[in-house]
Amino acid sequence: MKKQYSIHKSTYKHLDSTDPLRKFQKRFHKPKFNGIDKIIYLCGNSLGLQPIDTYDFVNKEINKWKNLGVDGHFSSERPWVTYHENLTNYTAEIVGSLNSEVVVMNSLSVNLHLLMISFYKPKNLKRKILIEQNSFPSDQFVVQSQLKYHNNDPKKDLLFLPSLDSNGLTSTDQIISYIKKYHDQISLILIGGVNYYTGQAFDIKTITKIAQEYDCILGLDLAHAVGNIKLSLHDWGVDFAAWCGYKYLNGGPGCPSGIFIHEKHLKNKSITRFEGWWGQKKSIRFKPNMEFSAEPNAEAWQLSNPPILSMAPLISSLRIFHESGLSALRNKSIILTGYLEFLLNEQLNEHIKIITPKEKNQRGCQLSIILKKSNHNIVVNLREHGLIIDWRDPNVMRVAPVPLYNTYEDCYKFVNILSDILEINHLR
């Protein structure tokens, strides 16, 4: 069988020159440090790069505050009172939802708590929460504290999905089997769309279908999925989801999160939630009314007025997503990640192990790489050569070539520099 790629420079040069998304690379700032001008940034799974026009978006709101004061709430191009609405269309497009099902607000862990107040309803034996074995620590803290809040015992009522191996991978069949086995005890399932550690993407459509068949609520942490893989939350029937805006969405550190609530729940007037004035109907929000009347959409879960200066960068980024198109981004991501995988296997196969699944529908752009001879100094060595990646204990490098701003040349240089460093440090 003929190889799709080669290890020669001609391959990346051809791929970069024919990349239909190459113009977007110039829309982002590239970090500079240690006197190195051309940084190779493969860490968008931790913090996305800053869009060039972010400054203008933030500065516009700074000047509005300076020049208009309180009148900025109701005057100008994007009034603050409705500022979050500027993100709704873009957000719905990215997660595959109706506009009424999404709102940008708060941070991810806060939103998971707010959503679980609404959707974790333990009753009798059906009170357990099912999560991934190697889920992100904050998710575990959230579900543990929710169990305690409901006077349940995390040691008894927190179930972990079994893993296929020590690396933490699982399979759709395993998940289905586990749901079937424990459905009479499971109240809520909370999983990541893409696992932060392994980079494994889950078959959300199938898992949602099974969860509903067995009367289990299905919630998603999409921190590593949103802006990375194709999502269709509405059509899949997912009950709820939350995500952060600072990774693949490039909204900046501490950028507001987003939530999704399926429309079937929006029609439930008896649903429980924590409430605040920004979830009140807009027509009466500023009136001295002591009775809460919820917005008829996901905005009902808002508590407070939006952080304008933190939302502005997200608008600048999501406009780029809209312009580039999600299908085109995903298509490039598959090729770009495949090229990186090829180079790693060709040049370093004996010295590394890629734990991220090979199948394109089971991963996004992140490859999680185990060094067979682990060494924390590798990250430092890479940075000295202008390469930014993420390390997770005990021995995993998380490398994410992001289709919006990474190139095939980035992948080529990363693998070659990594190879040299391993040799110098006697790790190959």
pTM of the predicted structure, to 2 decimals: 0.95
Instruction: Give me 109's structure tokens.
Output: 């862990």
What's phi and psi for 414, nearest 5 deg?
A: -55, -50
Identify whether residues 313 and 371 lie together within a single domain. Answer: no
252: closest CA among 48, 110, 32, 84? 48
Residues 6+ away with beta carbon under 8 Å from 96:
230, 231, 232, 233, 234, 235, 236
Instruction: Give me 325's structure tokens.
Output: 């198109």
Identify whether residues 197 and 269 lie together within a single domain. Answer: yes
Residue 331: CA atoms inside 13 Å, Cβ hemisphere, count?
A: 9
Q: What is the pLDDT of residue 380?
A: 87
Q: What is the pLDDT of residue 2?
A: 47
C-alpha 377/C-alpha 354 separation (Å) is: 19
Q: What is the pLDDT of residue 187?
A: 98
Q: What is the pLDDT of residue 7?
A: 82
Q: What is the pLDDT of residue 428?
A: 61
Instruction: Give me 230's structure tokens.
Output: 């194709």
Identify whether residues 198 and 296 lie together within a single domain. Answer: yes
Identify whether residues 80 and 204 lie together within a single domain. Answer: yes
Q: Is residue 46 part of a domain?
A: no
Domain coverage including residue 332: 9-30+326-424
Q: Is residue 36 part of a domain?
A: no
Identify whether residues 75 and 137 lie together within a single domain. Answer: yes
Instruction: Give me 413's structure tokens.
Output: 């240089």
From the first residue on, what is the mean pLDDT of each consecutive set of 10 residues in the chain (428 residues)?
72 96 96 85 98 97 96 91 97 98 98 98 96 92 97 96 85 94 97 96 97 98 98 98 98 97 94 95 88 95 96 98 97 98 95 95 97 79 93 91 98 95 76
Instruction: Give me 4's structure tokens.
Output: 């799709």
Residue spans of beta strands (DSSP E) within 118-226? 128-132, 158-161, 186-192, 217-221
Number of domains in the chain: 2
Q: Is residue 50 part of a domain?
A: no
CB 398 within 8 A of CB 326: no
Identify whether residues 74 and 196 lie together within a single domain. Answer: yes
For 189-220, give the DSSP string: EEEESB-TTT-BBP-HHHHHHHHHHTT-EEEE
Q: What is the pLDDT of residue 3?
A: 64
C-alpha 179/C-alpha 185 separation (Å) is: 9
- Torsion sign, CA atoms 237, 241, 246, 252: positive
Q: What is the pLDDT of residue 162?
A: 84
